[in-house]
């Protein structure tokens, strides 16, 4: 399973980011969220939502095995095992693998909790089976 | 302090000194946040008789305890100062993403004091707070300013900035944010311009502490769930505030040709569904909002984009100026946003000038050669630019409708559609007594935000004048501004019918303080009375006369439309005020009685 | 030949507290509302098959009509006080 985002429906409110940080870190802090909303204004005037595809590239390069699969089938970070080496960051094809040392003592990523979906009023996000690439 | 950023930031622009003080717990207890903080600091710290454009005035920017949290619409920021438009209390609410960053930067209020010797912008990145040179930005439009700052500093920074209107001292200059959200009314941008502050730039990375994390997440989720289940969600998302254009046209509340009527024969090409079809390309929401009312539009005719227009602008720049095509209204909206002036007051001032011109009170020489007839699109575009530059006729209109009419005279005061010096927003009130009273008594002048009572008029009988209607207006004046105090949007309650009882548990989980709506009403009433006293302190002779509406609504019945032949009698206008003052605990001249101030715990503050 | 009419918000109280009733096709929305004693001036928006329509729209067989009331916040709460 993975998260899917339909960017054309996004209105840029970022409720998903707050919900995400509350799940990952038990904090109100959208700077520590695992999805990204890019805003393109004043033209063309739309948003681009980047989400984790659970492709596993991050886990494949993690030297300490700190990125594992949870029972939802999502890769998640075990903070105690993360050495902040940042090997996972450049390999992420969606730029949603995070290491920001000023903000947290661990890497972080989407663990497929689904809270972002619960607060999205415009139905941008959904969790679905991973589809084969066209 | 749970639910709060925890600090008040003071920036003395004259000396460059920047200080922080902890947010006083008793301030949070008595005034909660947002516009409550603004009203408190204004009353307490800006000396009596301060020049709105002088160093003694302060611009107080405040978030509330819900701002930046997982609460629907928790993105409301209050800007308070002494108004250069009215000489009284100004409080303007800004949506978008700005207020959340204030909290993440560990702040509740930012107080700008003094006047900078040169153009600056205030840079805040957590604890790194600096005044930086803005000489190269001075003179630029709000869009170019925001774009340049974001490109230079990064997308995560949120920007609130002024345009040429604020720099040039237009009395109703706004503060623009996120390419189309404004703190619009009362000249808050004028005060920022007088202080030589081009922009506020902020990014915070700190968490907001809450009292009970699990209870808060549960309460917040319950609110989102209720919003998403609302049968009003989809229609509201589709049209936003433009949903009411056709309704207002039908019932005679759509301001037409300087409020001379309430129905517009060209209205159909201003209606929400027409606009959605023709120009809207996307929805644009404020922070944490599940029901975005912002509509982002592309005007093919002009090759431009704008957020909006929303209802107020459609009414004030559209029908009120006789413009019938939404694309033209959207373009005028863009000009106002970029030049940094409030579309409502600008629409009111231009409509007044158009009526003067059509009646021969302003000659073509006095309109700088413009054929300023209702419906002349090109003339509207040119006048907007003239206002922002304070050039020719624009210099007169930049004063606001009340002062412009005093200057020109010749009976034009009678059709200056304003209360307390603030242009009336976009509801024609010939026959809607609760809405009329709402405009008469709103704390900043004739603004709809405090009590959108017109739906109640239509539900119970628009011409009725009774105690229930007055009570309804007061109830709305406590409940709606409370949202601006909490730092969240009221529209989930207003439009989606979100249950008000969902708020107290969320607020308690966040702040750790249990408050019922009854408690919140009391705080609202305290703020309302304090701002009333502020007016009385600043304006000699302040009282009942200041609450009178434009005579148009009690002397000049519209000739056409749903309200043709209808007005509210002067007797009813006075009766509305009598009952209102009595219910508020004010004397016959509209000033709070001592016992009212005692009940609200205000006697010590006001001396 | 009939259509369905959904009432949202306070309009429900005008059709006996129901949220859905069956109405005849062939009349305009305005005529339909008049027959049901629903005051046009409290209806902010008409959706037919989820698309906004004017009150002059003539109802077709099988249409799903939604009448959306002007809201303005807390009508019921206020009345209960």
Domain presence at residue A15: yes
For chain B, say whether A11 makes contact (Cβ under 8 Å). yes
The b-or-e profile of B466-487 (16+ CB within 10 A means b, else e) is eeebbbbbbbbbbbbbbbbbbb
CA A134 – CA B565 distance, rounded (Å): 67
For chain B, say whether A45 makes contact (Cβ under 8 Å). yes
Residues B414, B349 within the same domain: yes
- Contact call for residues C44 and B243 (beta carbons, < 8 A): yes
Domain presence at residue B511: no
Q: Which residues of A touch B178 (CB under 8 A)?
A: 41
pLDDT band for A39, please (50, 70, 90 cuts): very high
For chain B, say whether A79 makes contact (Cβ under 8 Å). no
CATH code at position A83? 3.30.70.20
pLDDT at residue C18 is higher than 90: no
Domain boundary among B178, B203, B228: B203
For chain B, say whether A20 makes contact (Cβ under 8 Å). no
pLDDT at B417: 98
| Total number of domains constituting chain B | 3
CATH code at position B541? 1.10.599.10
Give the domain extent around A23.
2-128
Q: pLDDT above 70 covers what percent of chain B?
A: 100
Residues B465, B408 within the same domain: no
Residues B446, B415 within the same domain: no
Least confident of B161-175, B320-334, C1-15: C1-15
Omega within 30 of 0 (cis) for the link into B33: no
Residues B185, B256 within the same domain: no
Facing residue for A15 by CB, picked from B143, B180, B290: B290
Mean pLDDT of B574-587: 98
pLDDT band for C1, please (50, 70, 90 cuts): confident
Evaluate whether chains A and C are touching (3 or more beta carbon pairs less than 8 Å apart): no
pLDDT at residue C76 is higher than 70: no
Residues B158, B262 within the same domain: no
Facing residue for B224 by CB, picked from A11, A25, A119: A119
Size of interface B-C (CB pairs under 8 A): 73
Dihedral angle of Cα B592, B598, B604, B606, to the nearest 10 degrees: 0
For chain B, say whether A12 makes contact (Cβ under 8 Å). yes
Q: Quick: pLDDT tens for B44-92.
A: 999 999 999 999 999 999 999 999 999 999 999 999 999 999 999 999 9
Residues B87, B182 within the same domain: yes
CB contact under 8 A, A121 and B228: yes
Domain presence at residue B427: no
Q: Which residues of B touch C81 (CB under 8 A)?
A: 475
Q: How far is C38 from chain B (nearest CA, A)?
A: 11
Facing residue for B500 by CB, picked from C40, C50, C77: C77
Domain boundary among B203, B228, B258: B203
CB contact under 8 A, A122 and B206: no
Domain presence at residue A13: yes
CA B270 – CA B284 distance, rounded (Å): 20
Residues B465, B350 within the same domain: no
Domain boundary among B181, B203, B225: B203
CB contact under 8 A, B232 and C44: no
Q: Which residues of A touch B70 (CB under 8 A)?
A: 15, 18-19, 22, 28, 119
Residue of B nearest to C6 (CA): B231
- Contact call for residues B380 and B373 (beta carbons, < 8 A): no
CA B297 – CA B111 distance, rounded (Å): 34
Q: How far is B200 from chain C (nearest CA, A)?
A: 33
Q: How far is B129 from chain C (nearest CA, A)?
A: 40
Kindly report the number of other CB atoms within 10 A of residue B407's CB atom.
10
| Total number of domains constituting chain C | 1
Size of interface A-B (CB pairs under 8 A): 110
pLDDT at A133: 62
Interface partners of chain B (CB pairs < 8 Å, 3 or more) are A, C
Q: How far is A73 from chain B (nearest CA, A)?
A: 24
Domain presence at residue B146: yes
Phi, psi of A123 (to 5 degrees): 55, 40
pLDDT band for C74, please (50, 70, 90 cuts): low
Facing residue for A12 by CB, picked from B217, B285, B290: B285
Q: How far is B459 from chain C (nearest CA, A)?
A: 7
Domain presence at residue B510: no
CB contact under 8 A, A11 and B68: no
DSSP assignment letter at B153: H
For chain C, say whether B251 makes contact (Cβ under 8 Å). yes
The b-or-e profile of B229-265 (16+ CB within 10 A means b, else e) is ebbbbebbbbbbbbbbbbbbbbbbbbbbbbbbbbbbe
Domain presence at residue A68: yes
Residue of A nearest to B203 (CA): A31
Domain presence at residue A133: no
Ranges assigned E (strand) in chain A? 2-5, 36-40, 46-50, 67-69, 75-77, 125-128
Give the domain extent around B530.
433-497+516-606
pLDDT band for C73, please (50, 70, 90 cuts): low
Facing residue for C78 by CB, picked from B247, B273, B475: B475
CATH code at position B300? 1.10.569.10
CB contact under 8 A, C71 and B453: no
Question: Which residue, among B10, B13, B8, B9, has the nearest Cα to B114 in the 3D structure?
Answer: B13
CATH code at position C56? 3.10.20.30
Facing residue for B493 by CB, picked from C39, C41, C73: C73
| Total number of domains constituting chain A | 1
pLDDT at C9: 75
Domain presence at residue B218: no
Residues B347, B489 within the same domain: no
Give the domain extent around C59.
2-80
Taking the alpha carbons of B470, B476, B481, B486 in that order, is the dihedral positive or negative? positive
Q: Which residues of B touch C45 (CB under 8 A)?
A: 235, 239, 243, 246-247, 272
pLDDT at C12: 84
Domain presence at residue B216: no
Domain presence at residue A11: yes
Q: Quick: pLDDT tens for A41-89.
A: 999 999 999 999 999 999 999 999 999 999 999 999 999 999 999 999 9
Q: How far is A15 from chain B (nearest CA, A)?
A: 4
Domain presence at residue B437: yes
CATH code at position B60? 3.60.9.10
For chain C, say whether B212 makes contact (Cβ under 8 Å). no
Domain presence at residue A117: yes
CA B564 – CA B16 distance, rounded (Å): 58
pLDDT band for C77, please (50, 70, 90 cuts): very low
């Amino acid at each position: 399973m993975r998260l899917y985002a339909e960017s054309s429906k996004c209105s840029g409110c970022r409720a998903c980011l707050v919900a995400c940080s509350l799940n990952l870190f038990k904090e109100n802090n959208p700077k520590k969220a695992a999805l990204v909303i890019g805003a393109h204004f004043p033209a063309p005037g739309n948003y681009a939502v980047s989400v984790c595809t659970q492709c596993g590239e991050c886990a494949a390069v993690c030297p300490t095995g700190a990125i594992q699969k949870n029972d939802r089938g999502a890769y998640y970070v075990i903070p105690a095992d993360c050495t902040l080496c940042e090997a996972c960051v450049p390999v992420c094809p969606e730029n949603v693998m995070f290491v920001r040392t000023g903000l947290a003592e661990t890497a972080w990523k989407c663990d497929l909790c689904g809270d972002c979906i619960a607060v999205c009023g415009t139905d941008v996000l959904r969790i679905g089976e991973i589809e084969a690439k066209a | 302090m749970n639910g709060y950023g925890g600090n008040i930031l003071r920036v003395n622009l004259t000396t460059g000194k920047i200080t922080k003080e902890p947010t006083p717990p008793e301030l949070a207890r008595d005034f909660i946040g947002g516009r409550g903080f603004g009203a408190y600091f204004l009353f307490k710290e800006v000396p009596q008789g301060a020049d709105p454009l002088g160093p003694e005035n302060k611009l107080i920017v405040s978030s509330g305890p819900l701002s930046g949290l997982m609460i629907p619409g928790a993105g409301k920021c209050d800007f308070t100062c002494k108004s250069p438009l009215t000489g009284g209390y100004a409080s303007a609410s800004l949506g978008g993403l700005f207020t959340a960053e204030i909290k993440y930067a560990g702040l509740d209020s930012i107080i700008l004091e003094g006047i900078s010797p040169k153009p600056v912008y205030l840079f805040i990145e957590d604890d790194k707070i600096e005044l930086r040179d803005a000489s190269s930005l001075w003179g630029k439009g709000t869009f170019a300013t925001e774009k340049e700052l974001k490109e230079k500093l990064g997308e995560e920074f949120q920007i609130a900035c002024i345009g040429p209107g604020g720099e040039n001292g237009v009395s109703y200059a706004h503060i623009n944010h996120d390419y189309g959200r404004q703190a619009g009314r009362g000249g808050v941008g004028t005060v920022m311009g007088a202080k030589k502050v081009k922009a506020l730039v902020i990014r915070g990375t700190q968490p907001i502490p809450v009292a009970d994390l699990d209870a808060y997440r549960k309460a917040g989720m319950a609110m989102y769930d209720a919003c998403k289940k609302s049968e009003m969600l989809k229609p509201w998302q589709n049209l936003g505030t433009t949903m009411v254009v056709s309704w207002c046209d039908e019932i005679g509340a759509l301001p037409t040709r300087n409020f001379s009527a309430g129905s517009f024969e060209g209205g159909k090409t201003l209606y929400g569904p027409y606009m959605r079809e023709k120009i809207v390309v996307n929805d644009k929401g404020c922070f944490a909002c599940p029901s975005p009312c912002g509509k982002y539009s592309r005007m093919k005719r002009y090759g431009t984009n704008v957020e909006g227009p929303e209802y107020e602008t459609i009414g004030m720049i559209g029908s009120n100026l006789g413009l019938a095509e939404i694309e033209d209204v959207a373009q005028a909206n863009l000009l106002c946003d970029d030049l940094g002036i409030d579309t409502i007051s600008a629409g009111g001032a231009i409509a007044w000038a158009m009526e003067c011109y059509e009646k021969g009170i302003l000659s073509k020489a006095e309109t700088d050669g413009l054929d300023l007839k209702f419906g002349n699109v090109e003339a509207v575009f040119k006048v907007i630019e003239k206002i922002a530059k304070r050039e020719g006729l624009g210099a007169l209109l930049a004063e606001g409708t009340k002062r412009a009419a005093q200057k020109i005279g010749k009976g034009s005061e009678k059709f200056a559609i304003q209360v307390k010096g603030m242009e009336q927003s976009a509801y024609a009130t010939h026959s809607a007594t609760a809405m009329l009273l709402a405009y008469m008594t709103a704390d900043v002048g004739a603004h709809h935000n405090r009590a959108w009572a017109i739906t109640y008029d239509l539900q119970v009988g628009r011409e009725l004048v009774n105690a229930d209607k007055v009570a309804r207006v007061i109830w709305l004046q406590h409940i709606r501004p409370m949202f601006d105090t909490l730092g969240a949007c009221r529209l989930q309650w207003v439009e989606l019918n979100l249950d008000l009882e969902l708020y107290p548990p969320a607020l308690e989980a966040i702040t750790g303080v249990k408050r019922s709506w009854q408690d919140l009403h009391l705080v609202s009433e305290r703020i309302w009375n304090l701002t009333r006293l502020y007016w009385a302190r600043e304006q000699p002779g302040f009282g009942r006369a200041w609450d009178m509406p434009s005579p148009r609504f009690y002397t000049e019945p519209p000739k056409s439309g749903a309200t043709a032949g209808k007005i509210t009698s002067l007797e009813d206008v006075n009766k509305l005020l009598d009952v209102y003052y009595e219910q508020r605990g004010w004397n016959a001249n509209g000033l709070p009685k001592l016992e009212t101030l005692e009940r609200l715990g205000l006697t010590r503050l006001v001396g | 030949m009939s259509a369905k009419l959904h009432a949202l918000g306070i309009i429900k109280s005008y059709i006996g507290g129901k949220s859905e009733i069956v109405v005849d096709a062939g009349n305009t929305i305005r005529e339909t509302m008049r027959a049901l004693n629903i005051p046009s001036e409290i209806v902010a928006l008409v959706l037919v098959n989820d698309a906004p329509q004017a009150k002059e729209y003539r109802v077709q067989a099988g249409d799903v009509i939604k009448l959306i009331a002007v809201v303005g916040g807390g009508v019921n709460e206020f009345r209960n006080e």
